[in-house]
Amino acid sequence: MQRKIIFILFVLINITSTLLFAQRGINNCPIAIYFKKDTLYNNKCDTAIKDIYFNIIANKIIVVYKKGTKGRFVPDEIFGYTNAKGQFYRVDNNDKFELRDKKQFYFYSRKSGRGTNYYFSNQINSKLFRFTKKNLYLQYDSTKVKKILDDKYYKRKL
């Protein structure tokens, strides 16, 4: 009986810690706004922020604070942000790009009127390229491109 209770506690602790730490943005920061590319990894979490979102119509990034106030920023001032769901978005050319994967390179998606477009970059703060075979071959050697194209996740995105 005592072993069963210990086992159940162990499982509950593991599940709780997984849920707590699963949705984190860059730097394990649950909600953050990044103003400059060079301070991306040095940025501190702001516990006063409740949520962040991109208002495309107003062309502003809106920061909602826990006190109920809002901050509005021009996209040119912002490199990226992590929203309340723990999802990191990069802001580039007045548009937002959702970071989808960072195993082999930084892989982003951007929703448009006709569907979803995919992009990649070599580093978190390097230039974005449209995810095409041609751009992959321009950025990487053929061995790495073959490895990328063999991955079913990326293959479906071309």
Q: Which of 74, 97, 89, 98 has the alpha carbon at shortest distance from 40?
A: 89
Q: What are phi and psi of 13, to 5 degrees?
A: -65, -45
Q: Above 50 in pLDDT, residue 84?
A: yes
- On whether the pTM is more than 0.85, the answer is no
52 within 8 A of 66, measured Cβ to Cβ: no
Q: Render pLDDT for 19-68 as a digit per residue (tens, 0 to 9).
A: 333 344 555 567 878 876 555 555 556 677 888 889 888 888 898 888 88
All structural domains of the chain with their residue ranges: 24-88, 93-158
Phi-psi region of 74 (alpha: psi -120 to 50; beta: other; left: phi over 0): beta
More confident residue, 25 or 82: 82
Q: How many CB atoms lie within 10 A of CB 61?
A: 22
**DSSP conformational letter for 44:** P
Q: Tokens 């394990």 belong to which residue?
A: 28
